[in-house]
Amino acid sequence: MALLGFGSRPRDDAGERRLRIGVVGAGHFGRFHALKVAASGRALLAGVHDPDPERAALVARDAGGVPVLGFTELLGACDALVVAAPAEAHFDLAMAVLRAGRHVLIEKPIASTLEQAQVLAETAAATRLVLQVGHLLRYSAEHAAITERITRPLYIEATRIAPYKPRGTDVSVILDLMIHDLDLVLAIVDSPIESVDALGCAVSSAHEDIANARVRFANGCVATITASRISLKTERRMRLFSEEGYLSADFAARELTMIGRERGMPLPGTGGFRREAVSWREHDTLAAEHAAFVAACLDGAPVLVDAQAGIRALAAAIAVTDGIAASRRRMELSGLLTATAF
């Protein structure tokens, strides 16, 4: 199958433009990205690239696409690319995409360092290209359910734990799992981070597998966030105390309870408080993320999770990592002083 040049964008049967998207990285998430592109009514899967040609061919075949073995060849076939490679490759790949004049959707985290992330943001702005970061929960029903009810949080408690899986262990649990809740908290709390206290350790990989962070914001809000990928069960919960009331969310059960004064059934004897119980249906969050990306590229729609959002989430994750390192140094120093005292 011949590759389409950048200037000859295809159209569907109704004459509507279709965005040609390539996928870089044929791993766990890359496969899902390829399937979503292939299923989109406004996009066309132009090809899949991966250092492992067999893996690229397998994913492309699953998605009904064409395996493109060369990255440069894939760039020439596309209007936009999804970067679903390991995190350490995000910067180099995304920069190559932007320099080629293509839009890019980068899986989280946006880059390995804040300096790299800032360069990506500046390049996307200078070239007027779409740069979207794959913080998937921004497109979820649970995110909408929380943010439309809580706007002035005072305290947030988030827990995200799961059994061990080899996938994702190229980075710490902070960049693998905790960053989802960090991004959600940052979307709710409209205030700069003032300080971070954190603990964590590596158990089954070379990076932290469990972490706990206490994040203080300039407006007084405090968030306690726990993430683990070495647990015996999967659990995802969040509790929020705010001026609007108290909200508890069980993401696995897709259930939310709100105690406040504006929503739900009256609670007798509570001085006017009401209780609202909400459940939401599962929807295809990744498809929603892709639809938003295509709309930004073809229609000029605003980018919900842009480079600045990615930078803020990465900065928070790095602050947690630095906080763990600082706590470890304090404990080592304490142990040394105790040992020399006897």
Write the CATH number for 130: 3.40.50.720
Strand partners, 258: 247, 276
The per-residue pLDDT of the chain, averaged, comes to 90
Q: Give the residues across from 82 on adjacent strands.
A: 23, 105
Alpha helices in the chain (DSSP H): 28-39, 53-62, 71-77, 90-99, 114-127, 141-147, 173, 179-188, 285-299, 307-340
Q: Are 174 and 212 in contact (CB under 8 A)?
A: no
37 and 142 belong to one structural domain? no
pTM of the full structure: 0.88
Q: Which two tokens stand for residue 47?
A: 């090809």
**Domain assignment of residue 76, yes or no:** yes
pLDDT-above-90 percentage for the chain: 75
Q: Are residues 153 and 128 in the same domain?
A: no
Mean pLDDT of all residues in 128-149: 93
24 shares its domain with 105: yes
- Per-residue pLDDT tens for 16-70? 789 999 999 999 999 999 999 999 999 999 999 999 999 999 999 999 878 787 9
On whether residue 63 sits in a domain, the answer given is yes
* Backbone φ/ψ region at 56: left (φ over 0), alpha (ψ -120 to 50), beta: alpha
In a domain, 309, yes or no: no
Rounded Cα distance, 175 and 214, in Å: 16
Of 149, 143, 146, nearest to 180 by C-alpha is: 143
Q: At 7, is the pLDDT very low, low, confident or very high (cuts 50, 70, 90)?
A: very low
Q: What is the CATH number of the domain that holds 154?
A: 3.30.360.10
User: Are 149 and 278 in the same domain?
Assistant: yes
Burial class (CB in 10 A: 0-12, 13-18, 19+), 240: buried
| Lookup result for tokens 């190559």 | 96
Tell me the pLDDT band of 210, cut-offs 50, 70 and 90: very high
Residue 82 CB contacts under 8 Å (≥ 6 apart), including other chains: 21, 22, 23, 24, 25, 30, 33, 37, 104, 105, 107
Name residue 137's amino acid.
L
pLDDT(334) > 80: no
Is the pLDDT assigned to residue 290 strictly greater than 90?
yes
The arithmetic mean of pLDDT across residues 272-295, rounded, is 92
pLDDT at 1: 26
The string of pLDDT tens digits covering residues 62-104 is: 998 787 879 999 999 999 999 999 999 999 999 999 999 999 9
Nearest to 89 by CA among 30, 32, 25: 25
Burial code (b: 16+ CB inside 10 Å, e: under 16) for 100-138 equals: bebbbbbbbbbbbeeebbebbbebbeeeebbbbbbbbbb
Dump the DSSP string for 251-293: TTTTEEEEEESSSSEE-TTSSS-EEEEEE-----HHHHHHHHH
In this prediction, residues 224-252 reach a mean pLDDT of 94
Cis omega before residue 109 (within 30°)? yes
- Whether residues 98 and 125 share a domain: the answer is yes
Distance CA 214, CA 203 (A): 21
pLDDT of 6 strictly over 50: no
Whether residues 161 and 275 share a domain: the answer is yes
Whole-angstrom distance, CA of residue 266 vs CA of residue 257: 14
277 & 162 share domain: yes
pLDDT, average across residues 266-292: 90
Cα separation of 224 and 139, whole Å? 23
- Report pLDDT for 240: 97
Range of the domain at 185: 138-282+318-323
Comparison of pLDDT for 68 and 297, the residue scoring more? 297
Identify the pLDDT of residue 269: 85
Residue 153 and residue 84 in one domain: no
Q: Do the domain assignments include residue 193? A: yes
pLDDT band at 335 (very low <50, low <70, confident <90, very high): confident
On whether both 72 and 189 belong to a single domain, the answer is: no
Tell me, what amino acid is at 274?
A: R
> Would 164 be classed as within a structural domain?
yes
Q: Does 174 lie in the same domain as 85?
A: no
Same domain, 161 and 273: yes
Residue 336 within any structural domain of the chain: no
Do 78 and 146 share a domain, yes or no?
no
How many domains are contained in the chain?
2
How far is Cα 33 from Cα 43, in angstroms, rounded to an integer?
Answer: 12
Taking the C-alpha atoms of residue 132 and residue 120, their distance in angstroms, rounded to an integer, is 11
pLDDT at 282: 74
Spatial CA neighbour of 260 closest among 165, 149, 183: 149
Q: How far apart are CA 28 and CA 307, in angstroms?
A: 23
Q: What's the per-residue H, E or C state across 145-191? A: HHHCCCCCEEEEEEEEECCCCCCCCCCCHHHHHHHHHHHHHHHHCCC
Report yes or no on 83 lying in a domain: yes
For 139-195, write each residue's pLDDT tens digit. 998 898 999 999 999 999 999 999 988 776 788 999 999 999 999 999 999 899 999
**pLDDT score at 336:** 53
Residue 247 lies in a domain: yes
